[in-house]
Structure 1
Amino acid sequence: MTFHISLPRIMKVGAGAIRELGETVQDLGAARPLVVTDPFMKESGTVDAALESLRGAGLETALYAESVPDPTTDSLESGLAAVREHGADLLVGFGGGSSIDTAKALGFLALNDGPMRNYKAPRNNTGPALPVLAVPTTAGTGSEATQFTIISDSETDEKMLCTGPSFLPIAAIVDYELTLSMPGRLSADTGVDALTHAIEAYVSRRANPFSDGFALSAMTAIGANLREVYKDGSNRQAREAMMLAATQAGIAFSNSSVALVHGMSRPIGAHFHVAHGLANAMLFPAVTEFSVSGAEARYADCARALGVAGEVDGDAAAALTLVAELKALNEDLAVPTPKSRGISRDDWERAVPVMAQQALASGSPANNPVVPSASEIEELYSAIYG
């Protein structure tokens, strides 16, 4: 069997890597980069290091700082205008997953006719796009190494998964020092997102030996460090481990796939504006418990990689330990339920049938060890409400 592997052409990883941004853009042959980020990154001065490196290399640099959480098709319009006004030949996606996803979408739409819904899964996009250099400032999404972008349709509220090599960054700068100021809640949510990527990539029906190695390595690092960065964000060693793990998990799922947790979490984000990692965390224990029977040995491997089960534990016991660990992790990271987050039961139950259909339409549930029906997805949504 042949596995199709896709990776960024260049990755620079480590403390201070941001200072090599300008040199990297030059090496890629670009001269007019547009930095795509959000208002907070601009106002806090976090993006200044990127701008200084680009301008210091003599590059004609512009800044677009209007990306929004959970980018929508409407939010892309001003960004596309900025790309064209600057005559950008490369986009630097700087920030969390939303900013990097925005850069990916803008790079694609700059060279392809819209609307974005024409390019959602299951379509595999292989056409031209402006190159994107990704600079993550959170340790979670792995978007710097994936061939996916997530854009919500402003007309339907569907959170669209758009896939293919067209969305793979040409390069990434992975500097953990950019994460040192992350607050605890964000550290928890993005960390669980990375863990979800790693576990789903490993148990996916599309898993392969290449993705497996990255997934297991990421799980081990996250198991040892996620609670620590939530408790003490200044722990540089833990921050570095989480940043690398997030990128490894991104490589894993980009070359395997995500599964039911992600299929179900995207609609929660679209309908109730819950952060993606937090929505994953809400779902993770229940969906894993539902799925264990389809890949017991694989889930057992995950428990061992996380350090909550040993080689002497049988697969059945280890897999159940994994479910227990995910429940304990949610407690330790103060993950709310939809109910405790303030979502009314009526609103939740009203949305459940639509969310179930949107989850199935994304294609991700088909990669799950146990492929669910629409009614089973509805039952899972109801079960996690709280």
Structure 2
Amino acid sequence: MTAFQFSTTRSLLCEPGASRQIGERALALGMARPLLVTDAGVLAAGILEAALESLRSAGQTVAVYSDVVADPPDHIIGDALSAARTHQCDGVIGLGGGSAMDTAKLVALLIRSPQSLSNAYGVGNAKGDRLPLIQVPTTAGTGSEVTPIAIVTTGETTKAGVVAPQLLPDLAVLDAELTVGLPPAVTAATGIDAMVHAIEAYTSRHRKNPYSDMLAREALRLLSGAIETAVKQGQNIAARNDMLLGAMLAGQAFANAPVAAVHALAYPLGGIYHLPHGLSNALVLPHVMRFNQPEADHLYRELAPLVLPDQSTSTDDLIEFLADQTAELGLPDRLRDADIPRDAISRLAQDAMQQQRLLVNNPREVTEADARAIYEAAW
């Protein structure tokens, strides 16, 4: 018998056009003056319109904070929190990618909390309850709508996370119509990010359990089956829906069976060179999998038929397919092609070793020399 605990978002709505129901859903959660947190790109693309119309039709007095940036620095969290207080908001809606949703989580928490953001960093350090919270992803990647995690940029090249059960939203709304305008490169990078979540959750050394395994497997099946269509036929609503659902299932999996070395080695690429998170994961994924093979080969072989249903189910074939897929989807597949200089490898390895909260979950122990070798292989 496997003893485990599983936590996730309280409610889920998955339906193309579901953002047109946000007003009534917000009312049901007691919101009358919500703050909608997003970014300038989402605002300019008109993606907010259905949600705003729904909220206003339901009698809501809604304010929009649209200054979120990728990998939001701590001052953005402070600005959004000030906007929430000025509006006297009684609920928060995050609508956008992972950065917007992470910002929304922290606003919902900190507006009621006596502590500062800096005191909330870490696992289980957040105090108090939060405002009602709805999350609406516009990319199929981070799974932030079902995770108790928010990542903040704390310095020039450093990040910190708040991990607390209060950050799990009341409602996740998956509306594939909001994702049809995503550029192919963003669709590819965020989709690979979600696939990494599923793979790392399935192979996690800690807290891997039957429920997370089930979700990770179904997530990987959906994502691998839909990603090429979603990238090359962006208006295909069925593929977009499978990507959103797969990303959410992968988010549920890794929120309970945490990610490991792929993410640990990806973070310095984003922190130092500002590569998109999904691309950073894609660049190191096959090389971390080869490193892990002595300990995780049996698990990779269980996943292989989900990605390659009509082909060989060896780990080598799975790794080769994932390595080739990055370029086939239009992304750089080597560090040098992403403008990462070879002489940066030592610093990247040193920074990756700071991610011990992730590295402890890896199926094989990673030393700094191992990290350097993985980056060398990826270069």
| 1:197-208 superposed matches below 5 A | 197-205=197-205, 206-208=207-209
Task: Please identify, of 223-232 and 330-339, the stretch whose mean Cα deviation from structure 2 is larger.
Answer: 330-339
- Structure 2: how far apart are the matches of 1:232 and 1:174? 19
- Structure 1: how far apart are the matches of 2:93 and 2:272? 29
Report percent identity of matched pairs.
37
2:375 is aligned with 1:374? no
- Structure 2: how far apart are the matches of 1:377 and 1:111? 41
1:307, CA displacement in angstroms? 2.3
Give the secondary-structure state (helix, strand or coil) at the position aligned to 1:263: helix
Aligned to 2:178: 178
2:260 is aligned with 1:266? no
Deviation string for 1:335-359 (max 9, x for gaps)? 323322223334x236324422322
2:148 is aligned with 1:147? yes
2:342 is aligned with 1:345? yes
Structure 2 residue identity aligned to 1:174: L
Aligned to 1:240: 241
1:40, CA displacement in angstroms? 1.3
In structure 2, the CA distance between the partners of 1:88 and 1:356, relative to structure 1 (3 Å rule), is same
- Structure 2: how far apart are the matches of 1:203 and 1:117? 31
- Structure 1: how far apart are the matches of 2:208 and 2:125? 18
2:255 is aligned with 1:254? yes
Aligned to 2:318: 322
Kept after mapping to 2: 8 A contact 1:187/1:229: yes
In structure 2, the CA distance between the partners of 1:304 and 1:212, relative to structure 1 (3 Å rule), is same
Kept after mapping to 2: 8 A contact 1:159/1:267: no
Aligned to 2:303: 302
Kept after mapping to 1: 8 A contact 2:123/2:164: no
Aligned to 1:193: 193
Structure 2 residue identity aligned to 1:31: A
1:331, CA displacement in angstroms? 2.2
In structure 2, the CA distance between the partners of 1:109 and 1:375, relative to structure 1 (3 Å rule), is farther
2:57 is aligned with 1:56? yes
Aligned to 1:84: 85
1:75, CA displacement in angstroms? 1.7
Among 344, 355, 358, which residue is 2:354 paired with?
358
- Structure 2: how far apart are the matches of 1:322 and 1:295? 13
Kept after mapping to 2: 8 A contact 1:356/1:378: no
1:124, CA displacement in angstroms? 5.3
2:225 is aligned with 1:229? no
1:112, CA displacement in angstroms? 2.9
| 1:91-106 superposed matches below 5 A | 91-106=92-107
Structure 2 residue identity aligned to 1:76: I
Aligned to 1:30: 31
Aligned to 2:19: 18
Structure 1 residue identity aligned to 2:365: V
1:229, CA displacement in angstroms? 1.3
1:173, CA displacement in angstroms? 0.8
Kept after mapping to 1: 8 A contact 2:29/2:132: no
- The alignment's TM-score, normalised by the length of structure 1, stands at 0.93
Task: Please identify, of 54-63 and 317-326, the stretch whose mean Cα deviation from structure 2 is larger.
Answer: 317-326
Structure 2 residue identity aligned to 1:235: N
Kept after mapping to 2: 8 A contact 1:211/1:253: yes
- Structure 2: how far apart are the matches of 1:131 and 1:355? 36
Kept after mapping to 2: 8 A contact 1:117/1:153: no
1:162, CA displacement in angstroms? 2.0
- Structure 1: how far apart are the matches of 2:137 and 2:214? 22
Q: CA RMSD in A?
A: 1.8
- Structure 1: how far apart are the matches of 2:369 and 2:346? 14
In structure 2, the CA distance between the partners of 1:326 and 1:126, relative to structure 1 (3 Å rule), is farther
Kept after mapping to 2: 8 A contact 1:149/1:162: yes
1:221, CA displacement in angstroms? 1.2
- The alignment's TM-score, normalised by the length of structure 2, stands at 0.94
**Which stretches in structure 1 are left out of the alignment for 5+ residues?**
none
In structure 2, the CA distance between the partners of 1:339 and 1:176, relative to structure 1 (3 Å rule), is same
Structure 1 residue identity aligned to 2:183: P
- Structure 2: how far apart are the matches of 1:188 and 1:342? 19
